Amino acid sequence: MRRGLVVLLLLAFPLGAAGAIPEEEVLDVAAQLRCPVCQNLSVADSPSEMAKEMRGLIRERLERGETREEVMAYFVGKYGEWILLSPRATGFNLLIWILPFAAILAGLVGVILVVRRWSARARALPAAATPASPDPAYLERVRRELEGSEGGLRP
């Protein structure tokens, strides 16, 4: 059983000292790289021969003591930035990393403003319905006061 496993490991990973780097780590790096001969698949997912060789190369380099960044930099040097499945967060690329979160924040501010306006109006309405106080300035003051006293969440 144990011998079988060793044979297996040697067969599966003929390069370098087998087992030094867990398969998961190789796949983690491979998942960041695009398989150059496939349609939109990562090196980790692709069943192609090319991707298999690249996984071997990743393992070899990791075993040599290179960091993940160095391994990825090697592939960028060889294939260009295109090989990375997520663009590096520098320069113009920052756009794609920042814009989604900026949009959510802006939207959140918008939602809060809308909800506040709506709830402010609801509180102002009973006052507006009273004919005894037609003065808009007065109404505005009442609303502000109401907002001041009941601005938070009601129990």
Partner 1 sequence: MTGALGHFTLILALLVTLYGGVAFVLGVRRRSPPLLASAERSVLVSFALVTLALLVMEYALITSDFSIRYVANVSTKASPVRYKIAGLWGNLEGSILLWEWLQILFIGVAVFRFRRRPHPLAPYAFAVLMGISAFFLLLLAALTNPFQQHFPVPPDGRGLNPLLEVTDMLVHPLLLYHGYVGFSVPFAFAIAALLTGRLENEWLTLTRRWTVVAWLFLTAGIIYGGWWSYRTLGWGGYWAWDPVENASFMPWLTGTAFLHSVMIQEKRGMLKVWNLVLITLTFALVIFGTFLTRSGILSSVHAFAEGPVGIFFLAFLATVVLGSLGLLLWRAERLKVPGELDSLVSRESAFLLNNLLLVAFCFTVFLGTIYPLLAEAVRGVKVSVGAPFFNYVNVPIGLALLFLMGVGPFIPWRRASWASLRQSVLWPAAVAAVATALLMALGVRDFFPLLGFALPIFVAATVLLEFGRGIRARRRLQGERWFAAFRGLLNRNRRRYGGLIVHLGVVLLTIGIVGSSTYKVEREAALAPGESFQVGRYRVRFDGLEGAEAATHFRVWGAFTVTTDGKPGVVLKPAQRFYQGFDSPFATVDARYGFREDLYLILAAFARDGSQATVKALVNPLISWIWLGGVVILAGALIAVWPVRREAEP
Minimum Å gap between C-beta 28 and partner 1 is 10
How far apart are alpha carbons 52 and 27 in whole angstroms? Answer: 11
**7-19 exposure pattern, b = at least 16 Cβ within 10 A, e = fewer:** eeeeeebeeeebe
Closest to partner 1 by CB, 65 vs 122, is 122
Backbone angles phi, psi at 60, to 5 degrees: -55, -45
Chosen residue from 5, 15, 20, 73 binding partner 1 by CB under 8 A? 5
Kindly indicate which of the ranges 26-34, 60-68, 131-139, 141-149 contains the residues binding partner 1, using the contact rule CB under 8 A.
26-34
Rounded distance, CA 1 to CA 7, Å?
Answer: 10
Q: Which of 64, 78, 121, 144 binds partner 1 (CB under 8 A)?
A: 121
Distance CA 145, CA 43 (A): 63
Q: Applying CB under 8 A, does 69 fall inside the site for partner 1?
A: no
128 binds partner 1 (CB under 8 A): no
Q: 86 Cβ partners below 8 Å, 6+ apart?
A: 32
Is 68 in contact with 60 (CB distance < 8 Å)?
Answer: no
Q: Is residue 42 involved in binding partner 1 (CB under 8 A)?
A: yes
Query: Which residues contact partner 1 (rule: CB under 8 A)?
Result: 4-5, 7-8, 11-12, 23, 27, 31-32, 34, 39-42, 44-49, 52, 80-87, 91-93, 95-97, 99-101, 103-104, 107-108, 110-111, 114-119, 121-123, 125, 153-155
